[in-house]
Amino acid sequence: MSICTRSIWTVLAVTLLPQLATAGPIEWSYHTEVTYNQDYGSNFTVSLQPNGTVSTLPGDQSFVWLFYSTGVARPEPGSHERTYEFTVAVTVTDLASGAAHTMNIGGWYSSQWSYPPEEANNPDAWRWDYEGSGFGDFWGGSGVILGKNHYTIRGYGGASGSFPFGELAVEIHPTAATPEPSTIALAGLSLAGVGLFRTRRRAVTVSTPVV
């Protein structure tokens, strides 16, 4: 490798590598709000963990507990089913850039009871009951670029025999960094300087008489 080639690679490395280097943990925050499908009063309540700050290593996945819920499982007198529906809005913010993304994640609860129609108002006459719940989709989610990072955000939770609960899974990968125009211009000037130096050096060498 010639001296000029080495000089060019050195200039590029010194000028561009700081732009391409990835720092350590990525800091991000989240904020949550809940909206009920209708006014359930005290019959159903979602208890949120409203906000927090998380540090995630590039390529790792962080899990954050979002909420749990409580409610009345038994249907109204004369009915065989009770349902609750809600939406949790989760806003994720990349702290380095301030860029944010909001996901609206739906959740539900269903309770079904079986008893003779003529005994629908008798709480001791039920034959069986079933309840289940759900929140989001672990295999779904949303991919979004915030600042210099690509975020994959998923909400999930719920199970058979329980009121809904929910977690947030966030995986982050730095995007392929593109040097800013000012950095490219600086690299160009540096390379031009190397070229000019070689030209002048060659001119001096050629004009020197051979003894």
Residue 103 CA to residue 191 CA, distance in Å, equals: 46
DSSP bridge partners of 32: 90
Give residue 135's pLDDT: 97
Question: What pLDDT score was predicted for residue 119?
Answer: 78
Neighbours of 68 (CB within 10 A): 16
pLDDT of residue 155: 96
Q: Please give the pLDDT value at position 94.
A: 98
| Bridging pattern class, strands 149-157 and 166-174 | antiparallel
Q: 184-197 burial string, b = 16+ CB within 10 Å, else e?
A: eebbeebeeebeee
- Contact of 118 with 170, CB cutoff 8 Å: no
Do 158 and 164 contact (CB within 8 A), yes or no?
yes
For 135-151, the pLDDT digits (tens) are: 999 888 889 999 999 99
Q: What is the largest CA-CA distance in the chain?
A: 123
Q: How far apart are CA 143 and CA 101, in angstroms?
A: 10
What per-residue confidence (pLDDT) applies to 117? 75
For the chain, 211 residues long, the average pLDDT of each consecutive 10-residue run is: 51 45 83 98 96 96 97 86 96 98 97 81 77 93 95 95 96 76 48 46 47 45
d(CA 3, CA 142): 49
Note the pLDDT of residue 128.
Answer: 73
pTM over 0.85: no
Q: Among the residues of the chain, which ranges form H helices?
A: 3-20, 181-207
What's the pLDDT score for residue 47? Answer: 98
